[in-house]
Structure 1
């Protein structure tokens, strides 16, 4: 059956393969499967060449992944700076997206679903990832994107915002988010200075980021369960004059300087983008005091003022609010990126909505599979959290799909969610 499908009109993408010393230079162009003039046809020759490339690259890429827009080692999460390897991983995923759309793979996925659900649930075995738009990447940067995909109404979006704002704007969430961004930036700047001849901007940024971290360390919150109010004596001389006390405006100004210094540094773009996002919150609380010498009651009052301003001013579409939500849910501000965006499907007879999304694996080794499952689980968990917070009618059923060259078709469960592993093959 595979040969017949591959020799028919295989729609989805055209990849140009070739180059010096066997290096692949790729240009991927997606086409809608509408049957209109101008569509490209994937020949069996193209599929065979592309499949060989996938097999060859699978071994070289099995130790790495793109998480939060950064190339990392999946064993320890350490950063890998290798542009050639990153380009190869992007090309690998582009080829797999093309394969997902061919009829033979569509049939394989359908059979895998049926084998798991059984014939009595045939209505669940719908055609997924059949549209070109469902095989594109998705970067989730705000609650608005989540709400759009789930068709959440404007009234229900207000409910989501009003429900999560008091939780995600708590002092320890706000501080933790800032500290993670700045610590990550400091770590990567230190690596650049150690490995390369740094520019004056990099050296200046190193000094500024150290100043930012000292600013955050200059006061201790009483929210810390290991630090009760009686453990810190009242200062002998309180300085309550707001003209002498430090304010969040100081960190805002340092963040702006950092962004200006590092705007052209590609290797630090992730941290810079996160600082840009947090500027919104810093601007809102710029007049709030930050001083460890103002006493317990005044410190708590200032923390309350900061939380009140944040939860009042950060809107549903705010990337700052979304970043705080990510830290609240997962203890990290890393971006939620879905490699194969998928879509939604109404489950016949139940009124429930099924959300399906996917991830592309470079190997079927256990550590690679579970790394992929956990990454995809964060995205699916976020959507389910928003659905339940919006008090939507019916349940949101979520499915994870993973593709791997030469893997056996199977399914597994993680945290109550079913994940389907689809093997990519030409048979």
Structure 2
């Protein structure tokens, strides 16, 4: 059992009690990669660190250019899935050992000005890889109450379920998939054709020529055979189902299948809505667009990945979920304040990787702050981004007005 599963304490603890609680938790749940000799050692001890650090150093070159995404081992350069159980277990080991270091050391000492910080265990603490893929997860991190979660959803839904956001988010997923199919030289002609047809469908929905008078055309009657049947989102849903079937056994397309499945949740709610603007009147087309927004707003709940995908596109124009390795609250001077740390543990750090991961952490910080504001929380929230790597120098970088701290893991 991983010792850093989501830990939540229901009462306030003093700094010394927090340390004792976390130490006891590790002793009761030894990390699987420790030998029987190491399993009883306190990760605070120098003996444990002396044995664990060489393992991190040894694993670092082995896991170069790899990372965990949605539980899968992914090559960060071409986004391909690496099907190697040894490397996958090695990555879990690397993250677990590194997290043990960070749990017992001043992981943000270089950014702290008010003394050594300590974990705030009376608030949600995540010390293992975590995928931000729903509003529920973000609200869990922020410890948002049930009443406030209702405020969040009521505030966010009307903004992100707009017809244009919905169609553009779908288009973004399919365009990324189309590129991936080209890179992998996918042999399935059917798969390519379905993607093309889906994009053509969306193009008809999104595009509108202001010089055209087609919007003035009256809606066809049942007796009028000159007009083809008006398309519905159900047609798109059928193509999406076929696309998922074609890709579900392809490891390299795991991310896209996951995203298509999440967007399918919204399609099931609006499958009866008409989308063909050429065959219905202008006012009817606007009415159908408003139906999309109303149905999605009503049906997509806090745990909906579809809703979160729409939020990501609304905020950043992208649809990729956000991966973090650590997300925890800290207290300084014995007081639990609104200081949230989000971070990634990397197998290697160079300038390109720093820029890449800083952008991801910036998105995580942006989503967390956005939800916090929508929840109308009274206290000021401070979120700091951190990156850790073996052998790197401690420093900081600024991106979009946010400061991110880079730390070396060592003795």
TM-score by length of 1: 0.75
Partner of 1:361 in structure 2? 346
CA contact (8 A) 2:75 2:82 kept: no
CA contact (8 A) 1:143 1:316 kept: yes
CA contact (8 A) 2:81 2:251 kept: no
* Of 184, 187, 207, the match for 2:179: 187
Please give the residue correspondences for 1:267-416 in structure 2 after superposition, counting only pairs within 5 Å.
Answer: 267-293=252-278, 294-340=280-326, 342-345=327-330, 352-416=337-401
CA contact (8 A) 2:138 2:368 kept: yes
Q: In 2, distance between residues paired with 1:401 and 1:236?
A: 56
- Secondary structure of the corresponding residue to residue 394 of structure 1: coil
Q: In 2, distance between residues paired with 1:96 and 1:316?
A: 29
Partner of 1:233 in structure 2? 213
TM-score by length of 2: 0.78
Unaligned runs of 5+ in 2: 5-21, 31-38, 42-47, 223-227
1:362, distance to aligned residue in structure 2 (A): 3.5
- Secondary structure of the corresponding residue to residue 101 of structure 1: helix
Partner of 1:171 in structure 2? 163
- Secondary structure of the corresponding residue to residue 152 of structure 1: coil
1:361, distance to aligned residue in structure 2 (A): 2.7
Q: In 1, distance between residues paired with 2:105 and 2:331?
A: 20
Q: In 2, distance between residues paired with 1:88 and 1:420?
A: 28
Query: Deviation per CA, 1:168-205, whole angstroms, max 9, x where unpaired?
Result: 0112210111111122223333444x36xx4xxx4333
1:146, distance to aligned residue in structure 2 (A): 1.1
Partner of 1:144 in structure 2? 136
* Of 146, 155, 159, the match for 1:154: 146
CA contact (8 A) 2:117 2:331 kept: no
Shift in alpha-carbon separation, 1:150–1:425, aligned structure 2, 3 A: same
Query: Deviation per CA, 1:264-323, whole angstroms, max 9, x where unpaired?
Result: 222212111111111121111111111131243332221112112111221222221111
1:392, distance to aligned residue in structure 2 (A): 0.8
Shift in alpha-carbon separation, 1:215–1:360, aligned structure 2, 3 A: same
Is the counterpart of residue 97 in structure 1 residue 102 in structure 2?
no
CA contact (8 A) 1:239 1:245 kept: no
- Secondary structure of the corresponding residue to residue 218 of structure 1: helix
Partner of 2:17 in structure 1? none
Q: In 1, distance between residues paired with 2:218 and 2:28?
A: 77
Q: In 2, distance between residues paired with 1:403 and 1:175?
A: 38
Partner of 1:50 in structure 2? 55
- Secondary structure of the corresponding residue to residue 342 of structure 2: strand
1:374, distance to aligned residue in structure 2 (A): 1.4
- Pairwise CA RMSD of aligned residues? 3.5
Unaligned runs of 5+ in 1: 1-10, 14-31
Partner of 2:44 in structure 1? none
Partner of 2:191 in structure 1? 205
Partner of 1:248 in structure 2? 233
* Of 109, 112, 115, the match for 1:117: 112
Shift in alpha-carbon separation, 1:12–1:238, aligned structure 2, 3 A: closer
